[in-house]
Structure 1
């Protein structure tokens, strides 16, 4: 039985880039965290230590800054595409590139055109996979915290000798949404698409009577695909941020579903994918 080298990749993780556009009195700012992962003819470097095919990760970091200066940063997706295509086109030993981008939003303080305040915890994300003849773009968001104070229940589940959870006919449903959606094409109107997907996710969460968080997840993903024809797949990760009604009877008080303990851990973790039945496979972009 032989031993061979399996799939491999390497790159530069978490390059923090801030690009300021100073054209005019009202400045624009892009605040990104960029990850680069490359694969190709890397057998020799693993087996013998021959670095002739290796583009140093420090060079990858410098490329992020240089292309931001040369081309600017329009969107997370657009910048990811620019980088991925550059690495594959410029280096003959690089066959595949995957670029991930996190974007942190800032709002302008209206007193001046050059003062900003960070916008909450929510993060916009993008993932670009590119090789010759094939490109996939995945947009997304994370840390989108949402909560319904009613319109949710959880009952009818398996109960065994270890079950202590009482059924709930009216509960608080809270989660921190992480969603990523794959585009049919590698070129698109990224900002408009992002805004609409975010809107649909929020509206569906708010408007769905939930019998389980799984049902809510599927409803959110399904509606995104129904309303956004440019997308072919969406993956959602939704931890259940439990809110337990506090027992106030020891103090001679009732609790008509008004006072809760917000427990941060442990928590239920719900994950799922919703896709069109004709969606082309693209598992490599998710790894």
Structure 2
């Protein structure tokens, strides 16, 4: 006999751009919003009764309407606003999950109306609301960083298939994907984000690395130290390998100057750093 397990449905990757006009000085918020709702959805699965289903098209329209009615400030605030609306508006909906990615733009010169897409990372957040409690995870992805020195890798396990040479000086590069869970919501989401981002960058730069795992732990620890509202940090760090090129066939030395930047395969280092007294996460990471 089959029974229905956990389920949810929603509208994925709604692209919304909100322009705020203050005279000649405009501001852009460029978002990708994904909503997912769950609750009393048994009959739609078992019999096709759609009476409890809020159409995904309606969810999309709500994103656009809320962008107009409420504006878009910090993405965490916008995500919570949507999650609480969906949970409170329909009795059959018991839980709402709203995930947002923010795509940054910078002003093009002195023109208040002209913008260029920023090369910065993508800011992210996931907000949950179950009608009583809310959970928020902030984060980022594609934060590309590189150290030209102060990194080693040696003393690792070896077997008959090991060909990697040990090194006492290497390029260390990665594209940081990080997410951090809040014990309490900060007073200013934007400031909290910049503090966490700054902690990640500082720890990557000033950690003398004997392994990318060591760097990961240092980065997570720095965020916890500088952001008291954060109780858990999860990091995914692909090792963007840079291999010295053998220039001897051309009669040239290569004293750590010319590298081949390989895109795949790559090492992938993942881990979590959390406070000893961190509360249980609830559905925050789902």
1:199 equivalent to 2:181? Answer: no
Kept in 1: contact 2:104–2:120 (CA 8 A)? no
Partner of 1:20: 19
SS at structure 2 position matched to 1:60: helix
Label 1:238 to 1:37 Cα distance change in 2 as closer, same or farther (>3 A).
same
CA contact (8 A) 2:13 2:34 kept: yes
TM-score normalised per structure 1: 0.97
In the alignment, which residue of structure 2 is the partner of 1:216?
215
**Native 8 Å contact 2:126 2:138 kept in 1:** yes
Counterpart secondary structure, 1:264:
coil
2:124 corresponds to 1:125: yes
Q: Deviations over 1:127-154 (max 9, x none)?
A: 1011122111111111000000000000
Q: Any stretches of 5+ residues in structure 2 without a counterpart?
A: none
3-state SS in 2 of match to 1:22: strand
For 2:52, the equivalent position in structure 1 comes to 53
1:137 touches 1:185 (CA, 8 Å); kept in 2?
no
> How big is the shift at 1:216?
0.1
Within 5 Å, which residues of 2 pair with 1:90-101? 90-101=89-100
Give the equivalent residue in structure 2 for 1:72: 71
CA distance in 1, matches of 2:185, 2:196: 17
**Conserved 8 A contact 1:136-1:185:** no
CA deviations over 1:77-105 (Å, ceiling 9, x no partner): 11001000000010110000110000011
User: 1:136-151 alignment to 2 at 5 Å?
Assistant: 136-151=135-150
Q: Name the residue aligned to 1:279.
A: 278
Residue 12 of structure 1, CA deviation: 0.2
Offset of 1:38 from its aligned partner?
A: 0.6
- Confirm or deny that 1:134 pairs with 2:133: yes
Q: Distance in 2 between matches of 1:174 and 1:243?
A: 8
The answer as to 2:268 corresponding to 1:265 is no
**2:154 matched to which residue of 1?**
155
Matched-pair contact (CA < 8 Å) for 2:243–2:261: yes
For 2:158 and 2:250, locate their aligned partners in 1 and report how far apart those are by CA, in whole Å. 31
Q: Is the 8 A contact 1:183 1:232 kept in 2?
A: yes
1:238 aligns with 2:234: no
Q: CA deviation at 1:285?
A: 2.2
* SS across alignment from 2:121: strand
Tell me the CA shift for residue 75 of structure 1. Answer: 1.1
How many pairs does the alignment contain?
Answer: 286
- C-alpha contact (below 8 Å) 1:135/1:186 kept by paired residues: no
TM-score in terms of structure 2 length: 0.97
Task: Give 1:63 deviation, angstroms.
Answer: 0.3
Instruction: Classify the secondary structure of the residue corresponding to 1:120.
Output: coil
Shift of 1:283: 5.2
What is the distance in 2 between the residues matched to 1:187 and 1:210? 31
**1:256 is the counterpart of 2:255:** yes
Long gaps (5+) in structure 1: none
Contact 2:181 2:284 in 1 (8 A): no
Instruction: Give the 4+ runs in structure 1 shifted more than 6 A.
Output: none
